[in-house]
Structure 1
Amino acid sequence: MATPNPPEKTFGIEFEFLVHVDLIGLTEKQKAELSRRPQNEQVYLIAKVIEEYLDGLGLRDPVEASNGLRITNNRRSENEEKCTAWIVKRDDSLPDSAASREKCSRVAQALHDHPHVSFNYTCGLHVHVGLGDQVIPLLACQKLYSLLFLGGEEALKPLFRPCRNNNKHCLDIRTHSSLVTPQEDPPDLTGSVLGEGFKHCFPDDDGSGEERAALDKLWRAADISKFCDLVEGGPGGRLAYWFSHLRYEDQIMGRATIEFRKAEGNLDEPENLNFVHTWPQVCTTLVAFAMDSGPPEFERAIRAVRVGAAAEAPGTRLNLFLTIVGLPGDVVSSLMQRAEVLASEQSGAIA
């Protein structure tokens, strides 16, 4: 019997941006209604105009403006509103390929160049990773979460500006996950069996009591639903690495993804247009590593983030982590360059 092909990794991107309301030709009365009636159908005119603009550049497929478009009172100026839209589909519709990442970069450049589209520090760039119409296996989710929790999340931080570190839209899982914060109605793990993967998280029998207690719960999850119950964030924000889209409700909609919410979406900032190309590859590579690595490879990655966490230079820790999960050398070099630029910015700001 032929071995079935492994499921194809897929991804989608959410761009967040500001749109000048004059772009869609509304009357003054209609403009006033936008902030008072977020669900008014006029809101979708913005999505339509942006969609048509991208269509004219040959970017209509797979670009889609979502029904999730909303406008709030977070104004930049008198007639400019904060808008968010899923401009590349959330339902992980793009195959994990260089061609897909290039198309995303073209969309980003087109949005950046639009005279009525702008960005600020509140904008995010969210990457959804999935397996098309299949669901990422529980074991892979447990491995990825453990790797991030034990040091991977910290290792990646040099890739992000301070505005994205632990804000309410992308909180750290290490400090805000339900694994480490009290829950009003915690999942019942009575009679649960500790998964084999737990021992690979502590190959040298190390780890703090907090780490071991948290991952002891994580590796007792019997299914994806229980896993999601365990790793959700507390009230008041979203976690930077969001697994709740894997629940059944999203599965039946064909949108079972892991959402990477950490990246900033201000495409006016240096290096961020390049990051649209490289960050999705980091996200898909992390998921691929969690799915494909055996116990020896997983243990090596765990040791790497543990050793890296003790290293003085964040760049050393980042380089080690990106390399061991399997990113190509040229991508690692590009990301290290970004980390150096951001570190220089912060040093200049402090000086």
Structure 2
Amino acid sequence: MPPNYPNQGQNPAQGQYPNQGQNPNQGQNKAQLPNQYPNSNPSQARVTHELAPNEFAKHSMPKFGKIFAIILFTTAGVILLSFGIVYLMKYLNEKTAKTPETTAESTKLSSINLQPAIDQWLSTQVNKKNNSILVYDLKNQEIIGRNNDFTQNNSQGVENLFLVYLANLLFKQETWKKEELVKVGEESLTKETCLTRIIQENHAGCKEAITSELGADQLKQFLKDQSYENTNLTAHLSNTSDLLSLAKRFYNHPDFSNDVWEDLKLKLDPKANVIASTNPLLSGFQKLKPYGIFGAASETSSNYSYINNLYFIETAEEDPARRRTIVLIYLATDTDAASVIDLAKAIEKSLI
């Protein structure tokens, strides 16, 4: 008798998968995971654990509070980072800007006070107002002595430096040529030669020729542009404030090269100056190195109706970092040679 097969006559596939229409893998999953539902009874109805779409969304998405916190902390982080970058850039800019100032301050030397020496000298003078004095330390950029330094005074001699500066400015701009000729009496001299004679000899003919070449309008415009408000070259008047501004401009020479300035210093050296030997101020300096310009008109061999000086005075320290350059502007009327020499000695004694 043939064997009895309970599913005889059915499709073998149906026999293997009694729940017709199910995924074949479902049966395999049950075999692989026999203890997936340990408390289930095959005879009981199957419990469905799948979530509806809306329920799945609730369980899979973070809560609103978490999202808000993430956005908040991210935004705060970006803002703080931006502030940090801005602060860093500002700090670096300020540090860069302050570096030159710090360097300048570190090179300053101890201050010198010439006022007591000047006051002592003034106490021996008949009329203090006849002496306009300004002493300036270029190293420390400060005034170290003064007297009656605001009023206009006769400026003959020292006012020549205004012409010299403007001429060198025109050379730099190539508006003028050094080799160009100007007529001086019966002579024809180059502009450069004429300027040298103005510096070293206070040459009246060259001064007149250069002034004529420049023209009154250009001279006035130059004085206005440079803010030399107290200077009138026609009336031969200036004051220590304008002359100090001019001296600092020569010293820093923003309008021409350092080679030009070094060449001018050689021409301003008393050793190269024809009339320097007649200047009593220079007789009072023994240990300092002066270079500059002066003008004087004497009434007698020992008395002056005016004597005007603008000198750069270099100290003689062995260490170049300790050396100073001092500007001395001294405009005097009705004075005598002995008083001028005494002033120079008093200044030198305080500087060395």
TM range (shorter): under 0.3
Structure exhibiting the larger radius of gyration computed from Cα positions = 2
TM-score w.r.t. the length of structure 1 is: 0.24
Which of the pair has the greater relative contact order for Cα pairs under 8 Å at 6+ separation?
A: 1
Q: Between Structure 1 and Structure 2, which shows a larger proportion of strand residues? A: 2
